[in-house]
Amino acid sequence: MRILVTGGAGFIGSHLVDRLLEEGHHVICMDNLVTGKIENFAHHAGCDRFEFIRHNVSNFIFVAGELDWVMHFASPASPPDYLDLPIQTLKVNSLGTHNTLGLALSKGAKYFLASTSEVYGDPEVHPQTEDYWGNVNPIGPRGVYDESKRFAEAITMAYHQKHNLSTRIVRIFNCYGPRLRMDDGRVVSNFISQAIEDKPLTVYGDGSQTRSFQYVSDLVEGIRRMMETDFHLPINIGNPYEKTVMEIAHLIKELTGSKSEIVMKPLPTDDPKRRLPNIGRAKELLDWTPQVELNDGLTRTIEWFESQLKEKQAAGKSKG
């Protein structure tokens, strides 16, 4: 297949690109590199089935030739990024989604939207099922991401219903693994980058808020299985086992052998207190459950972060 992946230089997008190329498909990676990195796809240089187009999908998109899939993964995804880039975030999930839907329609391609568990906001229902409408503050600081993703789902459904476009929607819950940026600002990347340098681990609130963490290869497997179905309603892909933020902090301290102390900071506005997916739909329709245990996934991620730190330190010495 010939597949366009927007946001293909990002954390999740680049792992999806890897998987599609491994399967023998032709992949066009489109990214404006605002939060994505060339290093995430540099290993595909010279591959005649890989193309990179530097482009902002909030603007009109042109891709020559036929496409079998348009997969829209472009968007800042970590709170520091979308709080720093609020207008760009709103645009990529509204105008960008509109543009990619239009491209899919014009090419006769199938369409895949990467949505998020953030559409549930600070949920009042646990675990979150796909028919829960959420508890979102539209004018809070996180609204630029939460509401734009909700709009993205709405316009995707409109194209499905009005134009009979073949669409898929995945709601991605917390994901981690190699290629997370060290300054990403999310729980796992924060704790690991702080722990391996013996810096204080910053826990927001009292640390009792929960998250459920899935390893990136499990997420990509769920995405691939979704592509093989014709189910057009949203599907949660995440780990159904929750951990408190404080538990994650102590686990990462243990796995890194860090001497870091844990420091408490105020909880950010509208930060979800619990985040836990019901994955019954994924189990039934995709025969999917996460396979990578948290300790194993964190160990692999820590090794990658340590390699990045060594490269950074080596680069600093060479400049000095």
**Residue extents of the structural domains in the chain:** 2-176+214-240+276-291
Q: What is the mean pLDDT of the chain?
A: 94
Instruction: Determine the average pLDDT of the residues in 274-290.
Output: 96
The number of angstroms, rounded, from the C-alpha of 43 to the middle of its chain's C-alpha atoms is 21
User: Residue 214 pLDDT > 70, yes or no?
Assistant: yes
Q: What is the pTM of this model?
A: 0.95
> 177: which 2 tokens?
């693994």
Per-residue pLDDT at 318: 66
Q: From the candidates 111, 120, 145, 215, give the one annotated as an active-site residue.
A: 145
Is 3.40.50.720 the CATH classification of the domain at 2-176+214-240+276-291?
yes
Report whether pLDDT(312) > 90. Answer: no
For 54-95, write each residue's pLDDT tens digit. Answer: 999 999 999 999 999 999 999 999 888 999 999 999 999 999
Annotation says 159 is catalytic: no
Written as one letter, the residue type at 2 is R
> What's 162's DSSP letter?
H
Report pLDDT digits (tens) over 224-239.
Answer: 999 999 999 999 999 9
Q: How many CB atoms lie within 10 A of CB 2?
A: 17
